[in-house]
A and B are shown apart, each in its own frame.
Chain A
Amino acid sequence: METGHGNVVTAIDLQTAVEFIWREADLLDAREYARWLRLWTAEGHYIVPIERDAADYAAVLNLIYDDAAMRDARVKRLTSRQSMAVTSAARTVRTLSRFIVAGASLDDIDVRCAQHLVEQRRDQMRLVAADITYRLVRRNGELTLDRKIIHLIDSDEALHGISYLL
């Protein structure tokens, strides 16, 4: 495909998207939250819904519905050492797979995938499973995160305190 500059630009392929998603997962397991913030577009939303098929997540109650300001505040809390839940937060190891391209145009791609996250806290190990949808967009040649929706398998059941980023 031709651009005004004569460079050939291709659509974002799945392998490129998956490598981005794995790098993000690695940052989150390492609690590198400040670096994670820099993956995002300014207008992007980070959402952990309760309802699976809401038409408009802004109009319903979610577990998390974060714009840029709320993501900043959340990361500040998770790195402040002022929270007793955070200082005893679980360690996590997450694996993402079953990647499906749900939609794409020249500069964006929607990817659906599965996440198995194992958390360890005190004497308890838990599996936290989720379907995740990503929207990645290309800005100035760089891939950025524009939307991430984490559908916990048990989002409408009783959960437990989660003091790390999904």
Chain B
Amino acid sequence: MLHEPPIDYAALVRDDRVHTSLYRDPAIFEAEMDRIFNNVWVWVAHASELPEAGSFKTTFVGRQPVIVTRTSDGAVHVLLNRCRHRGASVCETKSGTSPVFVCPYHAWSYNNDGNLRAVPRAGGYAPDFDKAEFSLIGLRVEQYGGLIFATFNAEIEPLADYLGAARRWIDLFMKQGAGYGVKVAGEHTFRFRGNWKIQLENTTDAYHFPVVHKSFLTSLDDEAEEQFDVLNQGGFVEDLGNGHSVMVMMPNLVDLEQQLDAPIPERFRALAGELAEHHPPDQVRRIVRAVGGTGFNLNLFPNLACSMAFFRVLRPLSVDETEIRHVALGMAGGPEAGNRARLRIHEYFQGPMGFGSPDDAEAWERVQRGSAAGDDLWIMLNRGPNLAADGRRVGDVSAETGMRAAYQMWKRVMATS
């Protein structure tokens, strides 16, 4: 049997470029699933998706199907969605409430903490059959700011340390709950024929915005078009460590609890009028300022971005196909008018029929198609020198600093695993 020589992952990522094989080589993809998605902290859910004891949702960690559950003690569990008997999935429902999961094949039943509670006709097993040995496999689970992550790696650092400097930006992002808290309010899901890292890069790429999203920009009123002129507002990109980065496009929308006396934009005046019927003026200003989301994208390696007003979640399917979810957010128990406005804003840009996402998806597919050309070419990430003098890595808003951060993490995880 022939063996390929081992791949030198470190040689494929330089400080200012990555090798095209990172988009195209199925062997690299397989290694990524193992070394990244079966290893580091992967986002699986927001706390609002599990509102009560018994709540669950099904999702994936990398390519592995999992069930995310909340037990009666409030704890969150992430369980491999695979019966320990003969391997059938025990839940094919996207979300719901159930304290028990019963395998449809032979009716082995599991509590929502994963413990095997009953096996039909148990007398047919040997006397030393021990149900405790056949729980659903549980992953390690930790949360920060309502974001729930899971990992297969018992040795990895605590989530708080993994997120590090990104935690401050998660706190800022969640201020768009306007005091009510953030809740998931539906999602758009679509697939594109391209490698997952092309999408990972895009959430920290302001450079493409005026080019790819010209039709979106010209559909806006003048005031909003100026707000979305993202390259000319003094924004920046900062490497936050561990592959995470933040791209600030609208510096005046970093902290939604500041500048509450700023004038209400024209496009939100009708909403402000509607809210004023039931809320005092200061609360109206707080809600209206939060309703359009923040002015930044926080990229969390490897699969989540807290992007302005929504979560972007990516799921690698194969080396050249990726699934994207754009998760809409609302104010938990907040005013109906404000939440409706948030839904309409989400529909406007996001999803397979929005004014923005289809153009992004086309650009990503073009990268995958174009990268078939050439034998030994590189993807350039050399835009934007480091502007910080204090040891941080900060570039102007159009710099590729965030992509370099992600690929340095990729290199660290891939080369040392």
Contact = CB atoms under 8 A, between A and B. Distances in A.
B192 A161 contact: yes
Contact of B359 (A73, A84, A157): A84
Interface size class of B (residues with CB under 8 A): 35 or more
B189 A84 contact: no
Contacts of B186: 50, 60-61
Contacts of A85: 358-359, 361-362
Given A60-B343, A85-B358, A158-B191, A73 B351 contact: no
B210 to A, nearest CB: 11
Interface stretch (B34-42, B161-169, B213-221, B283-291): B213-221
Contact of B352 (A65, A74, A159): A159
Given A62-B347, A161-B358, A162-B352, A84 B212 contact: yes
Given A59-B340, A158-B323, A64 B215 contact: no
A156 B186 CA distance: 10
B71 interface: no
A27 interface: no
Nearest to B190: A159
B363 A59 contact: no
Contacts of B346: 61
A61 B185 contact: yes
A160 interface: yes
B214 A161 contact: no
A143 B219 CA distance: 30
A73 B347 contact: no
B362 A161 contact: yes
B336 interface: yes
Contacts of A30: none
Given A63-B188, A65-B347, A158-B189, A76 B219 contact: yes
A157 B218 contact: no
B378 interface: no
A139 B358 CA distance: 36
A77 B351 contact: no
A63 B352 contact: yes
Contacts of A48: 353
Interface in B330-372: 336, 339-340, 343-344, 346-348, 351-353, 355, 357-359, 361-363, 366
A60 B357 CA distance: 19
Interface residues of A, number: 30
A63 B351 contact: yes
Nearest to B336: A59
A163 B366 CA distance: 16
Interface string B194-214: 000000000000000000101
A83 B355 CA distance: 9
A109 B358 CA distance: 34
Contact of A77 (B188, B189, B192, B215): B215
A80 interface: yes
A73 B361 contact: no
A95 interface: no
B328 interface: yes
B58 to A, nearest CB: 13
B344 A160 contact: no
B340 to A, nearest CB: 6
A42 interface: no
Contacts of B357: 161
A160 B212 contact: no
Contacts of A157: 189
Interface of B: 94, 185-192, 212, 214-216, 218-219, 323, 328, 336, 339-340, 343-344, 346-348, 351-353, 355, 357-359, 361-363, 366
11 contacts: A59-B340, A60-B186, A60-B343, A61-B188, A74-B355, A82-B218, A83-B214, A84-B363, A85-B359, A159-B188, A162-B352
Given A76-B218, A82-B214, 5 more contacts: A48-B353, A59-B339, A60-B186, A63-B351, A65-B347
Across the A-B interface, the 9 shortest Cβ-Cβ residue pairs: A61-B186, A161-B358, A85-B358, A83-B215, A82-B215, A159-B352, A85-B362, A82-B214, A158-B189
